[in-house]
Amino acid sequence: MPLAHAEEVAAHLIDAMVAGHAFAGLARVPAIIEQLANKGPGGPIRLTGQTGISATIDGADVNGYVVSLFAADKAIEIAQVSGIAVVGASNTWFSGRLAYYVERIARAGLIAMHTANTTARVAPFGGAERILGTNPIAFAFPCDGDPVVLDIGTSAVTWGEVLLRQATGRSLDAGTAVDAQGRVTTDPTAALEGAFLTWGGARGSCLAFAAQILGILAGSDPVLNETRNSGMFFLALKPDLLMPAAAFRERVASLREAVRASRPAAGHTAVRVPGDGSLRARRDGGDRDVEIDPAVHRRLLELVAGAA
């Protein structure tokens, strides 16, 4: 990859590790390298259209970690002038944690929504065939202090988590996947040959369907049977389209504190706001080592030795 692209991908993977999301961190490196070996690094990312409130982007088959940053920054640029931005990017492939991009937009003072459709690995509710992607949906809201960030996977298990459990010899949780014959399985290898299930049953399937359609709007194919041409949809807007931005940030902070201060249910020690775990882990990251699973570490060393 070009050095600038490699640095952007590395920064994302390390942030995932520090934020406590090992499945989206260094465990992804072998899969990224496999795709790059098959595809090459891609070409120049191009802006293919722009209006006062929108933009379309050709990702040139560059991986989504890089293309999504390009798209997020374009959304920030447009929304800071016009108040709102809708950006679609296609001709790209998987992009890691969506929270990474919406947080970037929220730290620029904007409300953000982002969806991405991905390679077909998920069966719609009641099905056993891979039609949908893992199709996450993310939101971020500027707030006094750190933004509030919500990143929701619509599949019962993420692709990265399945790869991590396969690499580390651990079983999947029950009810998250089926094998190639449509039978429920906890074997990661069988799940990769079969299909993942949706999170939340029919409700998760509905959200996954919506993300799939927004990906189509961004320029993807209807069903992605290969790791190619995912659609990345971004919406960014200024809070002061509806109310003063400072008042909005203050009210979001009040809601966050009300949730944190609320009474925990039996069996819970605290009530957590979405994104709190990642923020806390990242804040503490400078004071602790970040552990890498031994199997992932061995594979990384093998890849380094093979490239020497």
pLDDT tens sequence across 51-75: 999 999 999 999 999 999 999 999 9
Is pLDDT of 308 > 80?
Answer: no
pTM beyond 0.85: the answer is: yes
Is pLDDT of 6 > 90?
Answer: yes
Q: How far is residue 167's CA from residue 55's CA, in Å, rounded to a whole number? A: 39
pLDDT at 287: 65
Is pLDDT of 142 > 90?
Answer: yes
pLDDT at 245: 97
Q: If we measure between CA atoms, which residue out of 105, 94, 6, 22 comes closest to residue 278?
A: 22
User: 151 is written with which tokens?
Assistant: 């990143």
pLDDT at 79: 98
Instruction: Give me the domains of the chain, ranges plus CATH numbers.
Output: 3-169+198-241 (3.30.1370.60)
Percentage of the chain surpassing pLDDT 70?
A: 98
- Tell me phi and psi for residue 233, to 5 degrees: -110, 130
| Pick from 1-10, 53-62, 229-238, 299-308: least confident | 299-308
**265 DSSP assignment:** P
